[in-house]
Amino acid sequence: MTDERLAYLALTQVSGMGPARLTILLSNFETALGAHSAPFERLRTLPGFSGAFVSELKATPLDAGRQLVESAERIGASILVPADADFPAALRSIPDPPPVLFLVGNQSLLERPAVAVVGSRDHTAYGGEVCRLIAREAAWAGAVVVSGMARGLDAAAHAAALDAGGGTIGVLGNGLGVVYPAANRALYDRVAARGLLLSEFPPGERPHAGSFPRRNRLISGLARVTVVVEAAIGSGALITAGTALDQGREVMAVPGPITSPVSVGTNRLIRDGAAPYLEPVDLLQYFADAAPLDRKNREDTAACVALPETLSADERRVAIRLGAECVHVDELAAQVGGPMGSVLAVLCALEIAGIAEQLPGRHFRRAAPLDGFR
């Protein structure tokens, strides 16, 4: 780790340091080390550099960069800055680009075309069904599904993309290592293991009121298209739609009942010019260059589409092995590597949830899917 990189990282941690001020510093001093060591009086001559801000800068030691690297290493996170070749190109040119990114997971997903799928935390059954359908079809078409790791439709989009065998990127409104909301811990672990978690906030930083609107510009910035599934007036999903428009990205919205509070926002988006999402081809036309999953992969993953995000890890492990063909409980127990009694208990819970169906002779299969997920 060079001193120049550590100095740059230290500058990003100065309270009040945004992309504009960082650009001014680097354009005046050429290097982060030069900016960090510049005299107080010289810094005060820069536009927008108040005495209070310069005092904050001078009080931030070079070691702050080293501490940032160490905190990332402790949780297995990588750090990217705009000077890095693998910094996501989609985020370089957006208004207010992130000066630093922290990542855990599969960074190659940043190189693939992506769609943002966002919506209400308190969604309807219709919204949940459509969200899972959109994420599944996008994943099968080879697009990465981006969302904000919130409860509700964000969580449904991430889970459906993974269940369909595709990739997903979770953009956090807090630092890596903090699971928020706590109910999404299982999803957090799944995305870290099979997708990518991304944040511009330092590891361990708790969420605050302003962090989620800032996160939203990264969600839309990573994606070619932002699809809003359900959104009440004032919803964060509408903020994401606004940032997408500011970035010159496409916005689509799912129409809903005019009597539904969570469809007011999406219906107004359509009224004001957003393209309606009526069927998969409406979205997939933007991803003709993506590499779709092969037919076998689609068939192998079809049985686990639309699994509720509320399933426990054990329930999900069993559910993804259930398909249209019957399978004996002995075989299921062998596949998941668990005791027979535990597997039967999980199957009973899945049967109650309408996910599994029991047939004579202790055989099980996936229950018939909902319309729209066949």
The pLDDT score that the predictor gives to residue 91 is 96
The model's confidence at residue 371, banded by pLDDT at 50, 70 and 90, is: very low
The model's confidence at residue 322, banded by pLDDT at 50, 70 and 90, is: confident
The pLDDT score that the predictor gives to residue 223 is 98
For the residues 299-328, what does the mean pLDDT come to?
Answer: 71
- With a CB cutoff of 8 Å and minimum separation 6, the contacts of 38 are 29
Query: Pick the residue with more confidence: 3 or 374?
Result: 3
pTM: 0.81
Task: Single out the residue of 277, 299, 239 nearest to residue 115, CA to CA.
Answer: 277
Burial of 321 (0-12, 13-18, 19+ CB in 10 A): middle
For the residues 31-53, what does the mean pLDDT come to?
Answer: 95
The pLDDT score that the predictor gives to residue 301 is 54
Q: Rounded mean pLDDT of the chain? A: 91
Largest Cα span, the chain: 83
Q: Are 198 and 102 in contact (CB under 8 A)?
A: yes
Question: Is the pLDDT reported for residue 335 higher than 80?
Answer: no
Q: Are 370 and 306 in contact (CB under 8 A)?
A: yes
Tell me how far apart the alpha carbons of residues 258 and 267 are, in angstroms, rounded to a whole number: 8
The pLDDT score that the predictor gives to residue 309 is 66
The pLDDT score that the predictor gives to residue 89 is 94
The model's confidence at residue 372, banded by pLDDT at 50, 70 and 90, is: very low
Amino acid at the residue 271: R
The pLDDT score that the predictor gives to residue 361 is 84
- With a CB cutoff of 8 Å and minimum separation 6, the contacts of 319 are 304, 307, 311, 350, 355, 356, 366
Percent residues over pLDDT 90 in the chain: 74
The model's confidence at residue 298, banded by pLDDT at 50, 70 and 90, is: low
The model's confidence at residue 337, banded by pLDDT at 50, 70 and 90, is: confident
Tens of pLDDT, residues 113-148: 999 999 999 999 999 999 999 999 999 999 999 999
For the residues 288-306, what does the mean pLDDT come to?
Answer: 65
Percent residues over pLDDT 70 in the chain: 94
The pLDDT score that the predictor gives to residue 374 is 34
The model's confidence at residue 35, banded by pLDDT at 50, 70 and 90, is: very high
Residues written for the chain: 374
Burial of 371 (0-12, 13-18, 19+ CB in 10 A): exposed
The SS3 of residue 347 is helix
Tens of pLDDT, residues 67-102: 999 999 999 999 999 999 999 999 998 999 999 999
